[in-house]
Amino acid sequence: MIMVFTLLVLVEYMDSCSSGGTAYRHGKTYEECKQMAEDFTAELKPEIEKNGNLLWSELLEKVRHDELVYKLTLKYLRRDGFDIGNNKMPEIKKIC
């Protein structure tokens, strides 16, 4: 019972979708989040190619800690030929 309560409290504070499934952080729609992620991806690709890599923490700051946009941006970077790393190597770099 305590675990269920704890999970409910955590869900209230997460930056993800609401229980209704249509409202995201700051009232954005899913389509708006996808477009923001595409925009961030286009902005970050030259930066990653120039600098060689981008840390996950830097990406999180760039997307202003919006969890959905962060995950979508990682997805789009992987789609566009970038190695998005893993928990042992949390960085994004261009695949040669």
Closest CA to 36 of 53, 54, 24: 24
Residue 33 is predicted with a pLDDT of: 94
Beta bridge partners of 1: none
> pLDDT at position 96, please?
78
Global pTM value: 0.74
> Mind listing the pLDDT tens digit for each residue in 57-95?
999 999 999 999 999 999 999 999 999 999 999 999 999
Pairwise CA distance, residues 66 & 41, whole Å: 14
CATH of domain 29-96: 1.10.10
The 10s digit of each residue's pLDDT in 24-51 is 777 889 999 999 999 999 999 999 999 9
Strand partners, 54: 92
User: In a 3-state reduction of DSSP, which class is residue 46?
Assistant: helix
Domain boundaries, the chain: 29-96
Tokens of 80: 């566009």
